[in-house]
A and B are shown apart, each in its own frame.
Chain A
Amino acid sequence: DTGVSQDPRHKITKRGQNVTFRCDPISEHNRLYWYRQTLGQGPEFLTYFQNEAQLEKSRLLSDRFSAERPKGSFSTLEIQRTEQGDSAMYLCASSLLGTSGDQETQYFGPGTRLLVL
């Protein structure tokens, strides 16, 4: 297994355009998370899925943001009508919720760096 992958790695877009990012988690992982990291800050939680169900969304996730995980495998994060303030690194992570219910390690992908001009 090659770990969590994200595509694209870099995206430059003009303000007002829509962008979509993809995340492929570690194959057996049932939980998938999206975080955003701006310069000089730690990652901030956006949303997470357990299988195909979106279980929690941050207040950071405005109505211009939408995330899906239609078949419980890969996920997409779409930003509509991008703004310059959306420029950031978008990180995806996955984990496996075992039968014990214990917190499991989140494994992160390399991220997608978005620049909105």
Chain B
Amino acid sequence: AQSVTQLDSQVPVFEEAPVELRCNYSSSVSVYLFWYVQYPNQGLQLLLKYLSGSTLVESINGFEAEFNKSQTSFHLRKPSVHISDTAEYFCAVTTFPGSEKLVFGKGTKLTVNP
């Protein structure tokens, strides 16, 4: 069975500072990896995903994540955060071929302070 560990439940940072949200996964088979973001009182939105190919993937709003197979990690980074990035971020994994369900971590609450 797969599992996802998000090591930090809360990450407070100041505006324009860099941030890294950590995600480690456990799986005995190949995986697809995702980061979803949940703004207050809204549903989950896909931020970025790794399916295959380049291990560095980017989102349209400046986030990036790197798949590291040897360390079983998929950490999310942004070099300079904005107040509007305040949200909860969820890392998720699914396997291929086979299971269609997403297995989520517990989430990291990112708070960007002025």
Question: Which residues of chain A have a CB within 8 Å of any CB of chain B?
Answer: 4, 31, 33, 35, 40-45, 48, 55-56, 58, 91, 93, 101-103, 105-111
Alpha-carbon distance between A33 and B94 when the two chains are bound, in angstroms: 14
What is the CB-to-nearest-CB distance from B100 to chain A, in angstroms, rounded to a whole number? Answer: 6
Cβ–Cβ contact B43 & A110, under 8 A: yes
Please name the residue on chain A nearest to B88 by beta carbon: A42
Question: Which residues of chain B have a CB within 8 Å of any CB of chain A?
Answer: 4, 9, 32, 34, 36, 42-46, 49, 51, 90, 92, 94, 96-97, 99-107
Alpha-carbon distance between A57 and B94 when the two chains are bound, in angstroms: 16
Q: How many A-B residue pairs have CB under 8 A?
A: 58
Q: Given the complex, which residues of B lie within 8 Å of A106, measured CB to CB? A: 46, 102
Cβ–Cβ contact B100 & A55, under 8 A: yes
Cβ–Cβ contact A110 & B42, under 8 A: yes
Nearest first, the 8 closest Cβ-Cβ pairs linking A and B are A42-B104, A45-B101, A108-B44, A110-B43, A108-B43, A103-B32, A43-B104, A42-B106
Cβ–Cβ contact B106 & A56, under 8 A: no
Q: List 8 A-B contacts (CB under 8 A).
A: A33-B100, A42-B4, A42-B92, A42-B105, A93-B44, A101-B97, A103-B32, A108-B36
Q: Given the complex, which residues of A lie within 8 Å of B104, measured CB to CB? A: 42-44
Alpha-carbon distance between A24 and B101 when the two chains are bound, in angstroms: 19
What is the CB-to-nearest-CB distance from A4 to chain B, in angstroms, rounded to a whole number? Answer: 8
Among the listed A33, A105, A107, A111, which residue makes an inter-chain contact with B101, where contact means beta carbons less than 8 Å apart? A33
Alpha-carbon distance between A40 and B46 when the two chains are bound, in angstroms: 19
